[in-house]
Structure 1
Amino acid sequence: MQTTLLIMAAGIGSRFGGGIKQLEPVDDSGHIIMDYSIHDALAAGFNKVVFIIRKDIEKEFREVIGDRIEAVCAQHNVTVDYAFQDLQDIPGELPEGRTKPWGTGQAVLAAKDVLTTPFIVINADDYYGREGFCAVHEYLVNGGDSCMAGFVLKNTLSDNGGVTRGICKMDAEHNLTEVVETKNIRKTADGAEADGNVLDIESLVSMNMWGLTPDFLKALEAGFAEFFEKEVPSNPLKAEYLIPTFVGQLLAEGRISVKVLRTNDTWYGMTYHEDVAAVRSSFQAMLEDGIYKADLFSDL
């Protein structure tokens, strides 16, 4: 069965070089987090890769990432395609002064013409681990429509400051009922808290790893038109069309069922500059433990 890995990489800076967290090497071989995500997705069975980028960074992206990944994928009969997120690709007029991207919902819509199979969507600069890719792939190839990888809260926190997480509420069958966006979650000696409220560190949270089908894109596109009509006029410079928010609306209206697939892997990201050293140390440990090979794609 054909399945697609959709990587939201449009947020990569327009000037490739130092200081861009998506391009920060995490091992001594120069691999970036995105390399590990692609490896884990291919190992799980995904057989197409689509990068969502901006047109203005296409040349640099291909030189630094795309051409290298295409060569790897070609060895494993995996195709690579591109979609381009454009600030002006909207169901209306661009508000004067708007420079902020429209969010993850619009990013996914930018790829609608190349998404012809069930797909998993991820952030370019987040490390998710193998378990989530395997769980989502298995769910999709067995006929599931919509799902998300649910990460254990304690496995997603930073030692260097507060983070925002979407805490999942579920029914007895692990169907998602609500995602509660919770800001400023900080580690404590006993677990975690947000603005003085103690949190259950075993809670499952959304880290923007969704398993979806092409049918979802129809609802997403209709929702974008509604967002542009209702939300943008009141906040023209900053309103964002986000997948978790839209999924929450569909859940509230009873228009979607989303299975939450627990993953026990640790999520790594570079929210703070100080996170870089810790993330590199974690990847070094995984290499030493044999979870990955130094020649990353040699075990596929």
Structure 2
Amino acid sequence: MQKPTLVILAAGMASRYGSMKQIAGFGPNNETIMDYSIYDAIKAGFGKVVFIIRKDFADNFKAIVEPKFSGKIQLDYAYQGLDSYLPEGFTPPADRVKPWGTAHAMLCAKEVVNENFVVINADDFYGYDAFKKAYDFCQDGVSESEWGIVGYTLSNTLSKNGTVSRGVCKADGKGNLTEINERTKIYWKDEATNTVAYEDETGEHLVDANSPVSMNFWAFHPTVFEKIQKDFDAFAPANNHNIKAEFFIPLIADNFIKNGGAIKIVPTSSTWFGVTYPEDAPTVKESIQSLVSNGQYPTPLF
């Protein structure tokens, strides 16, 4: 069986963090979070990495990543732009600046991905166990009728520096995803008692700290691209009035389930961490240094 591909979503604007955090250094030798993801993917057995980026920083991006990974794993690129894979005859609003979202970014990789693949964010640290579990699922579980999502424990994904957005997952008796509820303001209410809450327009609500959550780590069959294009062809015209509307991966997942598909929740023991706020950066550096000190990663990484 062909080795699966790792697709990395790196075209985001990093609006909250305020910089191009995809190429910011956090490791002891200035390694990026993405470097650790690629290291773990190579170790797990992935055969190719596809970076989804914007053309306006492509040269800078390539100059940074290619010396690190050339000869270690096959590299390829896809470019997300406002005019990429638009519905026939559709013109986006003239004042729209924001990209179309994660599912649209995935769609931009359709010409360079022909095998089972996983999708991750560039600026999230996922851990080796997650990549190994995803690799195994791509080999044994992914098909035209079954996809996968790596499930993290909610309490292992929160920031100490503010609210975060998390997709809280619900599963059926077979461990298949039934729904993802996007909670845009989840936070520690009391870390000492493992109490987590979220806020919405109706107020504050408690949520089980042990709930599985999506950190945008998915496993797909390449036929997903046909489904994304079909869904995007409907989404873009319907949301043309909203210049901030985004076409997210959970939208295509929801449609897939509604049309008879199954999405297996693949649990991982990995602890997630990432940089949502500038104040998170020291914690990320400390976490990576701890993993290096414990021998889980070499230094330098490559």
Same fold (TM over 0.5): yes
Q: Percent of pairs identical after alignment?
A: 39
- Residue 68 of structure 2 corresponds to residue 69 of structure 1: yes
Kindly report structure 1 stretches of 4+ aligned residues shifted beyond 4 Å: none
1:167 matched to 2:168 = yes
Structure 1 Cα separation of the partners of residues 116 and 247 of structure 2: 21
Structure 2: how far apart are the matches of 1:144 and 1:22?
28
Do the aligned residues in 1 keep the contact of 2:28 with 2:300 (CA within 8 Å)? no
Larger strand percent: 2
**Which residue of 243, 268, 282 corresponds with 2:249?**
243
Deviates more, 1:198-207 or 1:86-95: 86-95
SS for the counterpart of 2:210 is: coil
Q: Which moved more, 1:261-270 or 1:150-159?
A: 261-270
Judging changes above 3 Å, is the alpha-carbon distance between structure 1 residues 219 and 19 closer, same or farther for their aligned structure 2 residues?
Answer: closer
**Alignment partner, residue 216 of structure 1:** 224
- The one-letter code of the counterpart of 1:107 is A
In structure 2, what is the equivalent of residue 193 of structure 1?
197
Q: Which residue of 2 aligns with 1:11?
A: 12
Deviating more after overlay: 253-262 vs 149-158: 253-262
Does the CA-based 8 Å contact 1:136-1:149 persist in structure 2? yes
TM-aligned CA deviation for residue 21 of structure 1: 2.1
CA–CA separation in structure 2 for the residues paired with 1:175 and 1:143: 12
Kept in 1, the 8 Å contact 2:169–2:212? The answer is: yes
Residue aligning to 1:38: 38
Task: Report how far residue 172 of structure 1 moved.
Answer: 1.2
List aligned pairs for 1:281-296, cutoff 5 A.
281-296=286-301
- Is 1:88–2:83 an aligned residue pair? yes
Superimposed CA distance per residue, residues 194-217 of structure 1 (whole angstroms, 9 cap, x where no aligned partner): 132111111000010000011111
| Distance of 1:140 and 1:36 partners within structure 2 | 20
Normalising to structure 2: TM-score of the pair?
A: 0.91
How far did residue 255 of structure 1 move? 3.2
Matching residue's letter, 1:81: D
Q: How does 1:205-284 map to 2 (within 5 A)?
A: 205-230=213-238, 232-235=239-242, 237-251=243-257, 253-284=258-289
Matches of 1:285 and 1:81, distance apart in 2: 31
Structure 2 CA distance, aligned partners of 1:53 and 1:19? 15
SS across alignment from 1:274: helix
Q: Note the C-alpha offset of 1:68.
A: 2.0
- Pairwise CA RMSD of aligned residues? 1.5
* C-alpha contact (below 8 Å) 2:92/2:240 kept by paired residues: no
* Counterpart Cα distance in 1 of 2:140 and 2:247: 30
Distance 1:141 1:159 in 2: 36
The CA distance in 2 between the partners of 1:248 and 1:234, in whole Å, is: 23
Q: CA deviation at 1:86?
A: 1.3
Change (3 A) 1:6 1:240: same
Structure 2: how far apart are the matches of 1:290 and 1:154? 25
Gap runs ≥5 in structure 2: none
CA 1:50–1:88: 2 relative to 1, 3 Å: same
Q: Which amino acid aligns with 1:256?
A: G
Correspondence for 1:27? 27
* Superimposed CA distance per residue, residues 8-31 of structure 1 (whole angstroms, 9 cap, x where no aligned partner): 111267xxxx94322221122110
Q: Deviation of residue 229 (structure 1)? A: 2.9
Aligned partners of 1:36 and 1:10: how far apart in 2? 18
Q: Which moved more, 1:56-65 or 1:203-212?
A: 56-65
Count of matched residue positions in the alignment of Structure 1 and Structure 2: 285
Deviation of the 1:186 alpha carbon: 1.0
**Equivalent residue, structure 2, for 1:53:** 53
What are the superposed Cα offsets for residues 254-285 of structure 1, whole Å, 9 maximum, x if unpaired? 33210001112111111111100011000110
For residues 60-92 of structure 1, the C-alpha deviation after alignment (integer angstroms, 9 at most, x for no partner) is 111122x22332xx14xx211111111112111
Q: Which AA in structure 1 matches 2:196?
A: A
The residue number in structure 1 matching 2:114 is: 116
